[in-house]
Amino acid sequence: SAVLATRRRPADLVGTDLLLMWMRSAAGARRLGTAGALAVAAGGTVAGALPVREPWGLWGAYGTTVTTAGAVLAYAGLTLLVLSWWAYGRLLARGEGPGVRYTLVTLAWWAAPLVLAPPLHSADVYSYIAQGAMVLEGHDVYAHGPSALGPDSLGADAAASVGGNWTDTPAPYGPVFLLLAKAVVWVTGGTVVPAVLGMRLIAVAALVLVAWAVRGLAVACGADERRALWLAVLNPLLLLHVVGGVHNDGLMIGLMLTGVLLALRGRPLTGGAVVALAVMIKSPAALALLFIGLIVVRRGEGPLARRLVKGLTGPALVAAAIVAAASLLGGTGFGWLRTQSVAGAIHTPLSLTSDLGQGVGLAARALTGAELATVKGAVQTLGLAAALAVIAFLAFRALLPWRGRPALDPVYALGLSLLVLVALSPMVQPWYLLWGTAAVAATVPAGDSPVVRVLMVLSAGLVYETAPSGHTPPYGFVLGALACTAALVALRRRPAGVALTAPGGPHLPPGRASASR
């Protein structure tokens, strides 16, 4: 062991021994993770998604050599962060980890270094700022992209830094998020550095909201709070892309889970209203309304048909009213309804249906002269149809027993549904995995479910897919595959004595599986 190695060779302790020794305690894992986050932030200062123009001179380019060195440092720090997260999870799985408070403080330690860094692993925040400036200046963000801003506009510097694919793309986000972006631009005058930091404050608030909601859901669903927080919130994928990359997915997840938690606490109409706010950030949150309805149905009394009408219409009608009011009063209108498919026009390698559609389309074009876009669109549509079918089945399974197995926990079914939607979506980004991870984590103890193990492996690998600059280089997929392989090997050495728990079911001693698995 590393400790024995220290006693045998105090004068020539190698780095690997020291690393292993630190990873065998929660305090060591916390410190290593903090060092990793510091390295990610430091490397990102010169290799991150830097703005094209930045009048303050804080986030400027330093040449190829310095940029490459910064990227190497950032990747090294990211690896330390992933290893520390994995080690922390293994401690919890053995029952040796610390409590909830320590886990939340560790979250603060790991997130803090990323708060003042430039945008990391994504340039999407520049789109957010540019769209906020467009709303402030009266442009129709659902008809035009950031290129509509003139050189003297408040968001001109941010618009110049928007990635090429998104320069002319209308906003796919709801009015509530655009109003938040508008407020940030108004307060900061659109100056890039303070505007990015303003958007990051919103991201940090979202992180806090996700942590609060996950903890509450874990208590309500009978799961281990510490493990839920570890998988859902301490997750490097969330830290990297919600805090570092400033993605609005964190706010969507936090509001969505808060709405579900309110429903579990007996306030489904209020929960529906909060989910409506999440929909006004990003539309996939609307799926939570279905499972809030199922929570009402399961807790109600009387004929099933009457309970279904009450559960599925009440929260949905409240949400519809909130959505309509936000769209009208926000001044942006209902244009967001027609821009939900714009992202699907951009090919992302992580989308299985887009990759399949591309391959089938190329073959069809070669054999029959068919249009590539038509064939690809048809495959993507079939993928979404398949996702809806699976979601319908999961909703049924959350309502009634099936083949001798008890009904699924509605929160767990929501998490699975979001994961299915992502897997079969025409556009998939690494951080989309977070949509369903939090709901699953709040209902299943980490490390005990095959679904959770898949999430652990994917979380460890997907952090490498995008470079600190926000680009998607080929070596990112190689690094991600290596990380996934290492994670699978580590899972084969799962610590013994871990109690298995079914989603929403009773705790069982080691060696006995739940009937719902």
Residue 174 lies in a domain: no
Label residue 20 by pLDDT band (50, 70, 90).
low
Angle, CA 177 vertex, CA 173 and CA 182 arms, to 5°: 115
Q: Name the residue among 249, 264, 252, 177 with its Cα closest to residue 215.
A: 264
Q: What's residue 17's pLDDT?
A: 55
Average pLDDT over residues 253-259: 97
- Asked whether residue 317 carries a pLDDT value surpassing 50, the answer given is yes
DSSP class per residue in 352-402: HHHHHHHHHHHHHHHHH---HHHHHHHHHHHHHHHHHHHHHHHHHHHHS-B
Full residue range of the structural domain in which residue 338 is found: 2-124+195-491
Residue 517, helix vs strand vs coil: coil
Six-digit token string for 230: 């570890």
CB 463 within 8 A of CB 238: no
If one compares 149 and 250, the residue with the highest pLDDT of the two is 250
Q: pLDDT for 456-486, tens place per residue? A: 999 999 999 999 999 999 999 999 999 999 9
Distance between CA 253 and CA 422 in Å, rounded?
14
Radius of gyration of the chain (CA): 23
Six-digit token string for 117: 């860094």
CB 202 within 8 A of CB 243: no
Distance between CA 361 and CA 375 in Å, rounded?
5
Q: What percent of the chain lies above the pLDDT cut of 70?
A: 90
- Asked whether residue 222 carries a pLDDT value surpassing 60, the answer given is yes
DSSP character at residue 241: I
CB 411 within 8 A of CB 291: yes
Q: How buried is 217 (Cβ within 10 angstroms: 0-12 exposed, 13-18 middle, 19+ buried)?
A: buried
Q: pLDDT for 29-64, tens place per residue? A: 999 999 999 999 999 999 999 999 888 888 887 888
Supply the mean pLDDT for the chain. Answer: 87
Q: pLDDT for 500-510, tens place per residue? A: 333 443 332 33
Residue 170 lies in a domain: no
The residue written with tokens 């009773």 in the block is 506
Residue 151 lies in a domain: no
Residue 88 lies in a domain: yes
Largest CA distance in the chain: 75
Run of H or E residues at 26: helix 26-47
CB 21 within 8 A of CB 66: no
- The total number of structural domains in the chain stands at 1
Distance between CA 227 and CA 230 in Å, rounded?
5
Average pLDDT over residues 438-467: 87
Residue 515 lies in a domain: no
pTM: 0.90
Distance between CA 230 and CA 211 in Å, rounded?
10
Q: What's residue 397's pLDDT?
A: 93
Q: What's residue 40's pLDDT?
A: 97
Residue 182 lies in a domain: no
DSSP character at residue 338: G
CB 440 within 8 A of CB 431: no
Q: Name the residue among 208, 262, 226 with its Cα closest to residue 442.
A: 226
- Asked whether residue 9 carries a pLDDT value surpassing 60, the answer given is no
Question: Around Cβ 12, how many Cβ atoms within 10 Å?
Answer: 8
Average pLDDT over residues 485-498: 71
Q: What's residue 95's pLDDT?
A: 78
Give me the half-sphere count of Cα atoms (radius 13 Å) on the Cβ side of residue 247: 23
How many helices (DSSP H) and strands (DSSP E) are in the chain? 21, 0
DSSP class per residue in 33-102: HHHHHHHHHHHHHHHS---S--TTSSS----HHHHHHHHHHHHHHHHHHHHHHHHHHHHHHTT-S--HHH
Average pLDDT over residues 2-19: 47
Question: Around Cβ 25, how many Cβ atoms within 10 Å?
Answer: 16
The residues near 471 (Cβ < 8 Å, ≥ 6 apart) are none
Residue 323 lies in a domain: yes
| Torsion region of 60: left, alpha or beta (phi above 0 gives left; psi -120 to 50 gives alpha) | beta
Residue 217 lies in a domain: yes
Distance between CA 362 and CA 364 in Å, rounded?
5
Q: Which amino acid, 377?
A: G
Residue 489, helix vs strand vs coil: helix
DSSP class per residue in 174-194: -HHHHHHHHHHHHHHTT-HHH
Angle, CA 331 vertex, CA 327 and CA 332 arms, to 5°: 65
The residue written with tokens 């993605």 in the block is 247
Distance between CA 304 and CA 294 in Å, rounded?
11
Q: Name the residue among 421, 393, 420, 418 with its Cα closest to residue 408.
A: 393
